[in-house]
Structure 1
Amino acid sequence: MDHKQVATEILKAVGGKENVNSVTHCMTRLRFVLNDEELASTEEIKKMKTVKGIVRQGGQYQIIVGTEVDQFYQAVIALIGTQKNMNSGEIATKKKSLWDNIINTISGIFTPFLGVFAANGVLKGLLAAAIATGIMKPEMGVYIVLNAIADSVFYFMPILLGAAAAEKFGFNKYLGMVIGGSMIYPSIIQAASVEKFTFLHIPMGIANYTSTVFPAIITVYAASFLYKLFKRVCHKNIQFFMVPLLTMIVSVPLALIVIGPVVNTISSILSTILNAIYNFSPVICALALGGPWMILVMLGLHWAFIPLFISELAATGHTSMPGLFTANQFAVAGAILAVAVKSKQDKELKSLGISTGITCILGVSEPGIYGVLLPLKKPFITGIIAGSLGAIPAALMGTKVYAFGATGIFGFLNFIAPNGIDMGFYGAIISSLLGLILGFVLTAFWGMPKEEKRKCL
C-alpha cells in the first residue's frame, strides 16, 4: 500500500495542509483538528478504499484507517512539513460544548501514551500468569525487574499525566512533569501519614498521590493559567526562569492543600456511585453496558469513564465494570465473521469480513465495525445484543480487571489476579466464547439484511 499517496488524497480532501491545525492518532484513527470542518469533503473521504469510516466528535475530525494508522500519520506529517500535534493548542471555528471539551481534553491527554500503557498492562498480565503457574517467584531478580517496569506506569502516573496535560494546555511539558513529580516526592508521601503537616501554617490534607489520575491533571490545568499570568507580569529578561519558578511554587502547594484533597474526594464519590450501580445487579449492568459499550467507544464517550476505572484499579488493584466488556469484542468478531461466511457471492465483502474479523479477535475492532457492521446496519445491532448477553457469565462469576493492556485474545491476561487464576478469569473466557458464538449465530440467522441474502447461497 502506498501510504504517501493515500495520505496525499486524505490531506487534499480535508481542505489541504493549510486547513490542518493539528493532527495525531490513536490505534486506528487519524485525529485532525481542522480550522474549518466545512472545507472537508466527507463524502469523498468515505469513498476511499482505505478509509473505514469518519467520526466528528469533540472538535476532532477522525478518519478511521485501521491498524496501519501510524504509517499514514507519518506520511501526513511529512506532507505537512512540520509535526503538528493536537496537544499544542487548538483552533476551532465553532464553539464546542463543555462536554465536548471535557472528552476532547481527556482523550488528548491519554492518547499519546496509550501504547505504553497497554504494553505495561500486557507485561503485568504475563507476570501474574508466571507467578500463578510457578514459572517465577516474587523474590526472583528477573521478576523484580520486570515487575518494576510493569508497575512504573501506574506508580509514576502523575508525572506522565503532568507532561501530557501540560502539552494539552499549552505550556512546557517538563514543567508539567516536575509538578506531577513533586506530588509523589518521597518526603511528600511520607508526610501523608503525619496528621499535623502544614505549609506556612496552612494545614495540608496530603494523600499518597502515586497512581492517581485526576489530581495531576487538574493541577496542571490550574498551572496553565498561572503560567500565562506570570508570563504577562514578569519582565522578558527574567521570564526564562522566573515564570517556571513562580508557577511551580504556587501550583504544587495549591495542589497539596486544595486541589488534591477535593479532587480525590470527588473521584471517590464517583467510583462509589459506579460500584453501587454494579453491585446493585451485575447482570442488569451487563445487559445495559456490555453491548452498548461499543457505541460509547465509537462516540468517544468512553473517555468519561476510563480515568475512573484507572483510578479504581490503582487504588484497589482491580476494577469490576470493565470485566463486563470483554464479551463485546468477541461478539463484534462473531458478527463480522458471520457476514463473511454468508457473503459467498460478494467476494470483496467476504474478504473484508474475514480480515477484519480476525483483526477484531486479535484486539482491534474498529475496521470491522465501520467497514462491515455499520454499513449493513442489522449485523451491528446483533453484535450489540450478543455483547450484552455474552457479558452475563462475567457478571455472575465476578470477573475483574487487574491490568489495562491489550484487548481480544491478548486481553485475557488482564483478568489474571496477582494471587493466581480465579473464577473471574474463567468468567472472562466463557463470556468471550459466548459473545463470539451469539454474535455469529444471531447475525447469520437474523442479522443479515435482505439485500445481502439475495447475494448469498
Structure 2
Amino acid sequence: MNHKKVAEEVVKAIGGKENVNSLTHCVTRLRFKLKDEQIPKKEEVEKIDGVIQVIQKGGQYQVVIGNQVEPVYNEVIKLIGEQTEKSEQKEEEKNVKFFDKLTATISGIFIPILGLLAATGLLKGILTITMVTGVLNPQMDTYKVFNAISDVLFYFFPIFLGGSAAKQFKMNQYLGMAIGGAMLYPTLIEIASKGAPINFLGLNINLMNYSSSVFPVIIAVWVASKLEGGLNKIIPQSVKFFIVPLIILVVMVPATLALVGPAFTFVSQLLAGRIMAIYNFSPILAGLLLGGPWILIVMFGLHWAFIPILISNVMLLHFDPISGLLGGGQFAMAGASLAVAIKTKDLKLKSLSSSAGFTCILGISEPALYGVLIPLKKPLITSIIGGSIGGAFSGILGAKLYNPGMSGIFSIPAGINPNGVDTGFYGYVGSMVVGFIIAFIVTYLWKFDNKSGNV
C-alpha cells in the first residue's frame, strides 16, 4: 500500500483539511470529525485503493483502513496538521444521539490504552503458561519482574484511565491522573484494607481499594471536567494557573472517595452479578445469543459500550465469562473469509479475503468484516452461524478469559485458569475450531455474489 497516496486521496475526498475539525485513529480506522459530513461522497471514498469502508457514527466520519492505519494516519497528519476541534462543531454535537455519543466517548477513552492493555494481558497469559508448566514460579525473581511489567497497567488503571478520560473530556490530563493517583495512594489503600472508616472534616468515610477499578475514576474525571470549565470562567487569569487545579483536587478527591467511588463500585459489582446470573442461567443459551450476534454488535460499533463492563468483570471477578463466548465468532469470520479466498475467481477479492482472514485470526476483524463479509452478505450470515455454535460450545465447557484486551489467537493464553488448565480452556480453544470449520464449510458450499457474478 502506498500510504502517502491513500492519505492524499482520502483528504481530498473528505473536502480537504479545511473540512477537518479533528482526527484520531484506532487499530483499523481513521476517525475524522468533520465540519460538514455532507461534503464527502461515501461511494467515492470507498473506491480509494486502500480504503475498506466508510462508517458514519457517533459524530465521527470513520474511514476503515485495516492494519495499515497508523502509517496512513501519519501521512494524513502531514497534510492537515494537528487539528483541534473548533467551536463550530458544538452545535452538531447536540444533535448526536445519546447512545452514539456514549459509545464515541468510551471508545475515545479506551482506544489510546488498548495496545498496552493487549500487551500486558498477553504477558499475563504467557506467565500463566510458564507457571502451569513449571518453567517459572511466583517465588522466582524472574517471575516477579515480568509479573510487575504485566501488572502495571491493571494495578494503576485509575491513573491511566484518569489521564485518558481527561483528554477525552478536554481537561488537564495531569489533573485526571492526579485524581486517579490519589485513589491509589498507599496510605489510603492500607486504611481501606483494614476496613475501618476515616474521619474527614467530621464525616466518616469508608475507604475502598480502587486498584484495577474502571468506572469510578472515569465518572470522577467527567465531573471534574465540568468543575474545571466553570472555574475557568470565574477565576482571575493571574491565579488561574494554580488555583483551578488546587480547587479541583481538594474538592474532587474527597468527593470521589466519599461518594463517586463507592457508588460506581456498587454499580460495577451489580453489573458483574447480573452478568453472572444470566450466564449461570444457561451458558449454552448465552453462547448462542452472543457468540455470533456479537459480530453485529461490533458492526454497529455498539461493542464499545460493553468494553468497560468486560474489563471490570476481570478486575472484580478475576475472569470474564462473556469474553469466553466470543472466540468462536472471531474465528468464524476468519473461516468465512478464507473460504471466499479459495472459492472466488476475482483476484482482487481473493487477495483481500485471504489477507483479511489471516488478520482476523491475529485478532483484527475489521478488514474481514467490512471488506468481505458485509459486502458479500451471505458470508456474514455464515459467520454468525459459526460464531453462535462456537459460542454454545464454549458455554457448555464453561470458557472464561482471565486477562482482558486480546482477541484471536493471541487470546488463547488468557483462557488458561491461573490454577491450572481446565475444561473451560478446552472449551475456548474448541469454540475457535468449531466456529472456523462451520463458517468455512457453509460459506464454501453456499453461493455468494461478487462483482464477477455468482460464485
Same fold (TM over 0.5): yes
Deviation at 1:84, TM superposition (A): 4.4
Matching residue of 2:229: 228
C-alpha change, 1:313 and 1:384, in structure 2 (3 Å) is: same
Matching residue of 1:200: 201
Matching residue of 2:269: 268
CA deviations over 1:328-351 (Å, ceiling 9, x no partner):
1110011111111111x3222222
Deviation at 1:248, TM superposition (A): 0.5
Residues 172-183 of structure 1: pairs in structure 2 closer than 5 A: 172-183=172-183
Matching residue of 2:42: 42
> How many angstroms apart in 1 are the aligned matches of 2:170 and 2:23?
15
User: What TM-score do you get using the length of structure 2 for normalisation?
Assistant: 0.96
Matching residue of 1:189: 189
C-alpha change, 1:452 and 1:424, in structure 2 (3 Å) is: farther
Matching residue of 1:403: 403
Query: Which amino acid in 2 is paired with 1:302?
Result: H
Residues 10-409 of structure 1: pairs in structure 2 closer than 5 A: 10-82=10-82, 84=84, 91=90, 93=92, 95-192=95-192, 193-343=194-344, 345-409=345-409
C-alpha change, 1:383 and 1:234, in structure 2 (3 Å) is: same
**Preserved CA contact (<8 Å) 2:6 2:49:** no
Structure 2, unmatched stretches of 5+, are none
When structure 1 is superposed on structure 2, of 36-45 and 148-157 the one drifting more is: 36-45
Between the aligned residues of both structures, percent identity stands at: 47
Q: Match of 1:391, SS?
A: helix
Q: Match of 2:50, SS?
A: coil
CA deviations over 1:53-111 (Å, ceiling 9, x no partner):
1111111111110101100111111111225489x996462511221221111110000
User: What TM-score do you get using the length of structure 1 for normalisation?
Assistant: 0.95
CA deviations over 1:299-320 (Å, ceiling 9, x no partner):
2211111111111101221111
> How many angstroms apart in 1 are the aligned matches of 2:451 and 2:411?
33
RMSD: 1.8
**Preserved CA contact (<8 Å) 2:25 2:31:** yes
CA deviations over 1:125-154 (Å, ceiling 9, x no partner):
111011111111111111101101111111
**Preserved CA contact (<8 Å) 1:184 1:208:** yes
Query: Which amino acid in 1 is paired with 2:276?
Result: N
The count of aligned residue pairs is 453
Deviation at 1:445, TM superposition (A): 1.3
Deviation at 1:410, TM superposition (A): 1.5
Deviation at 1:454, TM superposition (A): 5.7
**Preserved CA contact (<8 Å) 2:448 2:454:** no
When structure 1 is superposed on structure 2, of 419-428 and 433-442 the one drifting more is: 419-428
When structure 1 is superposed on structure 2, of 200-209 and 172-181 the one drifting more is: 200-209
Q: Match of 1:24, SS?
A: strand
C-alpha change, 1:41 and 1:453, in structure 2 (3 Å) is: closer
Deviation at 1:39, TM superposition (A): 1.6
> How many angstroms apart in 1 are the aligned matches of 2:170 and 2:413?
37
CA deviations over 1:19-77 (Å, ceiling 9, x no partner):
11111111111111112211222111011121111111111111110101100111111
Query: Which amino acid in 2 is paired with 1:171?
Result: M
**Preserved CA contact (<8 Å) 1:77 1:84:** no
C-alpha change, 1:336 and 1:122, in structure 2 (3 Å) is: same
> How many angstroms apart in 1 are the aligned matches of 2:131 and 2:384?
36
Q: Match of 1:50, SS?
A: coil
> How many angstroms apart in 1 are the aligned matches of 2:88 and 2:30?
17
> How many angstroms apart in 1 are the aligned matches of 2:364 and 2:85?
24
Residues 394-433 of structure 1: pairs in structure 2 closer than 5 A: 394-433=394-433
Structure 1, unmatched stretches of 5+, are none
Q: Match of 2:326, SS?
A: helix
> How many angstroms apart in 2 are the aligned matches of 1:215 and 1:89?
32
**Preserved CA contact (<8 Å) 1:35 1:91:** no
